[in-house]
Amino acid sequence: MNNRDGVTIAPTADVDERAEIGPGTRIWHLAQIREDATLGAGCNVGRGAYVGPGVTLGRNVKLQNHALVYEPARLADGVFIGPAAVLTNDEYPRAVTPDGRLKSGDDWTAVGVTIGEGAAIGARAVCVAPVTVGRWALVAAGAVVTKDVPDFALVVGVPARRVGWVGRAGRPLTPKGDGIWICPETGAEHTESAGQLTER
């Protein structure tokens, strides 16, 4: 492992010299960090993970093995991306133009996925750009997110749909009544109103 300026990079990782890597970040075997990507302090990029050009990761972001984060995704502090999860960037994917010519970078516009603070994307889940996953939300393993996810929402399935609420600890919240939800781990209370959840 190569450790420079508080950053640990595996010898087999491919980190472009134009990428900005925060102190304490660890980049493991066969990961690729493209040009102009920005990774905050304390991130962990697993084996075979991919971070596209210009992608921004906040502090303490964890990308598990083979996670694919395509540009121009924006991930806030404390985001978790599970193994083999994908954040897409092509809203209307085609390999060729309508006349059959192979598409180039000039033939499409990349659109990004935005992930809010503390949110978690489960293993093999897919977030189809341009969606926003709210703060502290939890996308279940294998889900396909095709529309925005509210803060603290628990979404499952294909396409993903909300089936409950989660707290900062990631545990499903339990109803107390009158629109009040409680985290069984921390005791934190939340208020539900008009399909949104807020911390009390």
Residue 5 scores a pLDDT above 90: no
Q: How confident is the model at residue 1 (pLDDT cuts 50, 70, 90)?
A: low
- The pLDDT value recorded for residue 54 is 96
Q: What percent of the chain is predicted at pLDDT more than 90?
A: 94
| Structural domain spans, the chain | 2-168
Q: For all residues of the chain together, what is the average pLDDT?
A: 96
- The pLDDT value recorded for residue 8 is 95
Q: Residue 57 corresponds to which amino acid?
A: L
The pLDDT tens digits for 142-153 are 999 999 999 999
* Of 3-7, 92-96, 140-144, the least confident: 3-7
> Sign of torsion, CA 112 76 115 194?
negative
Report the run of H or E that residue 144 belongs to, with start and end: strand 144-145
| Residue range 95-118: mean pLDDT, rounded | 94
Known active-site residue 190: no
- The pLDDT value recorded for residue 126 is 98
- The CA distance from 165 to 181, in Å, is 8
- The pLDDT value recorded for residue 14 is 98
The pLDDT tens digits for 55-94 are 999 999 999 999 999 999 999 999 999 999 999 999 999 9
- The pLDDT value recorded for residue 2 is 63
Query: 20: exposed, middle or buried (C-beta count within 10 Å: 0-12, 13-18, 19+)?
Result: exposed
Residue 24 scores a pLDDT above 80: yes
- The pLDDT value recorded for residue 105 is 87
Count helices and strands in the chain by DSSP H and E runs? 0, 27
Query: For residue 105, which phi and psi values (nearest 5 degrees)?
Result: -60, -25
Which listed residue (34, 66, 74, 190) is catalytic? 66
- The pLDDT value recorded for residue 182 is 97
Residue 4 scores a pLDDT above 70: no
CATH code at 2-168? 2.160.10.10
Query: 182: exposed, middle or buried (C-beta count within 10 Å: 0-12, 13-18, 19+)?
Result: middle
